[in-house]
Amino acid sequence: MANKLRKTAIDLFREAIAEGIVTQNPAEATRIQRVTIRRERITLDEYDVIRDAAEELPSWVAPCLDLALITGQRLGDIQALRWGDFKEGRLYIKQEKTGVMLAISEKTRLECLDISLSDVLRQFKTLNHGASHIVADEKHSMFAKKTISEAFMKARRASGLTWNGTAPSFHEIRSLAARLYTEEKGKDYAQKLLGHKSSDMTDKYRDVRGAEWTEI
C-alpha cells in the first residue's frame, strides 16, 4: 500500500512539474518500502498430491522431490549432488550457502512416507546409468537449478491445489522435511539434518504459517 501511494505521489508531482507548478519532485526522495513475501507452507497431504502429479512428468522429477524431502537440503545442493559424493553408505554434502558439511546415512528414512535415502538413490540409478550427477536421466547428465524449480512448479500446477497466498516453491520441501523429522525424530535431529547451527533457524522452517490444524 505504501509503495502504491509513493508511486501516485511521484506521478502527481511529475504532472505538476510539467505544468510549471513546482520545480522538484520530493516524493522521489522517499524510500521504497521493502515487502517480504511469505510463501505458503506445504503439508504432507499436499506433498503427496504434488508428487502424484510429478509422476506424469519426466521420470526424474518425482524422485528429485523425494530426494529433497529425505535429505532436507536446498535446491542448489540437490542439483549439485554427484554420485562421487555417495561413499560407504553415506551421502556427503557441503552446503553451498553455509559451507556446513553433512554425511547423511543411506538408512535415513521418513516413516510417514515409508521411504529411505537408499530407496531414492536406487530410483536414480535406474534412470541415469553413467551420469556424473545424481539428479539426471538417460539424456541429461545433470539439470540446471531453474529446470528443477520449474519442474516442481509444473507438478504443483498439475496437482490442482490452490493456496490463498504465494504458492509454495521447491524450497518449501525443506520446511516440510524439518517438520516431519521433528515429529518423527525430534528437534535436534531435524536441526542437524538441515545443517542449522542455531535452533532458531530450524524453528522458522518448522513454522507452519497456518497450513496445518492444531490437534487438541
Task: Give this prediction's pTM.
Answer: 0.75
Instruction: With respect to residue 5, please indicate whether it lies within any of the assigned structural domains.
Output: yes
Same domain, 27 and 109: no
Q: In the annotation, is 97 catalytic? A: yes
Instruction: Note the pLDDT of residue 35.
Output: 40
Active site residue 171: yes
Q: Is residue 214 part of a domain?
A: no
Are both 26 and 121 inside the same structural domain?
Answer: no
Options 41, 51, 74, 206, the catalytic residue: 74
| Domain of residue 17, residue span | 1-35
pLDDT in tens for each of the 216 residues of the chain?
555 677 777 788 888 888 889 888 887 787 765 544 355 889 999 999 999 999 999 999 999 999 999 999 999 999 999 999 999 999 999 999 889 899 999 999 999 999 999 999 999 999 998 899 999 999 999 999 999 999 999 999 999 999 888 899 999 999 999 999 999 999 999 999 998 876 556 555 545 445 544 332
Is 174 annotated in the active site? yes
Whole-number pLDDT of residue 74: 96
List the strands of the sheet with 90-94, edge to edge: 86-87, 90-94, 101-105
Domains identified in the chain, total number: 2
Same domain for 31 and 111?
no
129 is catalytic: no
Do both 81 and 174 map to the same domain? yes
Reduce the DSSP state of residue 202 to 3 states and report it: helix
Which of 41, 51, 181, 205 is the catalytic position?
Answer: 205
CB 70 within 8 A of CB 110: yes
* Integer Cα distance of 166 and 120 in angstroms: 29
Radius of gyration, CA atoms only, the chain? 22
Q: What pLDDT does 22 receive?
A: 84
Same domain, 29 and 51: no
Alpha-carbon dihedral angle through residues 187, 193, 194, 200, given to the nearest 10 degrees: 30
49 & 30 share domain: no
174, 179, 181, 206: which is the annotated catalytic residue? 174
Q: Is 140 labeled as catalytic in the residue annotation? A: no
